Chains A and B, each alone.
Chain A
Amino acid sequence: MTRRFIKPSVLALGLGASSLLLTACDGVSVGVGVGYGYDPFYDSMLWNDYYHDVDVDIDVNRPVRPDRPNRPGGQPPTRPRPPVAKPPVTRPPAARPPIHRPAPRRR
């Protein structure tokens, strides 16, 4: 009786464990390190579309961008002074008595 009981239960446990092991080996459930940080082909297809309708050869040397023109006045203008004065940095605390003060005990 015990033999008959042990044999199928070992079989069942073994089969169950192996199926669990197989699912664990699937390897696609956790995607660490396979993100889209660098996706060269995707980016290339974007750039292919960027240049498709314009006859631009990106390897050709383009004319260099001209330098920034000089200021007409020479010196940069002085900083404007703001109309609102800054408040004083330190201010004495307002001398107001507290609204509720402990009253002397009544007789």
Chain B
Amino acid sequence: MRIILNSALAACAGMWLACIPPASADTPVTYTDDGRALFRFDVPDFWTLRTGGIREIEDTQLGDPRAVARVMGMRPVTDDNVWMGFVSPNGVKSIADGLRYLEDIDKFLVKEPTVTSTSDRRIGGLPARVIRGTGNRDGRGVNFTATVIDLPRDRVAIVVAILRNGADPAYADTLNAVFASFQPAR
């Protein structure tokens, strides 16, 4: 009897240990364009990823269908104050092009953006330009980090991370972990 009870206690202790969240069980995801892998990153646990794909959209006023590149967006499952998006637009070949691409960010992603800092760094071993700033969206303030990463073979990756005001500041670590996991596809 004692042996059975002891093993039951051990089983309960095991359940307790299993309740401690695992250190890292991220999910690697590869961004591909036209069958070619461009870069990969890790999706944090309990985040949802929206993959998208190459498609055509049309401005109803302009009446001009245009192809847009794959946009991957992700956010925590239970929190919409945090968002992170990846895109590798066609025809954007260098960091300078990427900065020009981001100039129009105020029309859509963030209203009234104010750039607070711009820095050069390396992400995944590649040269990158990081632009931090604030703005607003839907009447709420947001912090954004727009990054242009120079990929090999005349491509760039545009990564936009957005933290709305009121978001848990701990998400900054999660976003940085995603940047740390970024690497070009071999």
Using CB atoms and an 8 Å cutoff, list the residues of chain A in contact with chain B.
5, 8-9, 11-12, 15-16, 19, 22-23, 27-28, 31, 34, 36, 39-54, 56, 58, 62
In the complex, residue of chain B having the shortest beta-carbon distance to the beta carbon of A31: B77
Q: Give Cα A23–Cα B62 distance, bound, in whole angstroms.
A: 51
**Nearest-Cβ distance from residue B42 to partner chain A, whole angstroms:** 18
In the complex, residue of chain A having the shortest beta-carbon distance to the beta carbon of B68: A49
Chain B residue total in the interface (Cβ 8 A): 44
Interface secondary structure of A, over-half rule: helix
Contact flag A49-B89 (CB < 8 Å), given A12-B8, A42-B50: yes
Q: Which chain B residues lie closer than 8 Å to A12 at the CB level? A: 5, 8-9, 12
Using CB atoms and an 8 Å cutoff, list the residues of chain B in contact with chain A.
1, 5-6, 8-9, 11-13, 15-16, 18-19, 46, 48, 50, 52, 57, 59, 61-62, 66, 68-69, 71, 73, 77-78, 80, 83, 85, 87, 89, 91-92, 101, 104-105, 107-109, 137-138, 160, 162
**Nearest-Cβ distance from residue A73 to partner chain B, whole angstroms:** 28
Q: Which chain A residues lie closer than 8 Å to B19 at the CB level? A: 19, 22-23
Contact of B107 among A19, A36, A40, A58 (CB under 8 A): A58
Give 24 A-B contacts (CB < 8 Å), ordered by A residue. A5-B5, A8-B6, A11-B12, A16-B15, A19-B18, A19-B19, A27-B78, A31-B48, A34-B78, A39-B73, A41-B137, A41-B162, A42-B52, A42-B71, A44-B109, A45-B87, A45-B108, A47-B107, A48-B104, A49-B68, A49-B71, A51-B107, A52-B104, A62-B61
Q: Are A15 and B69 in contact (CB under 8 A)?
A: no
Contact flag A15-B73 (CB < 8 Å), given A52-B104, A62-B61: no
Total CB contacts across the A-B interface at under 8 A? 105
Q: Which chain B residues lie closer than 8 Å to A49 at the CB level? A: 68-69, 71, 87, 89
Interface centre among A23, A46, A52 (most CB of B within 10 A): A52
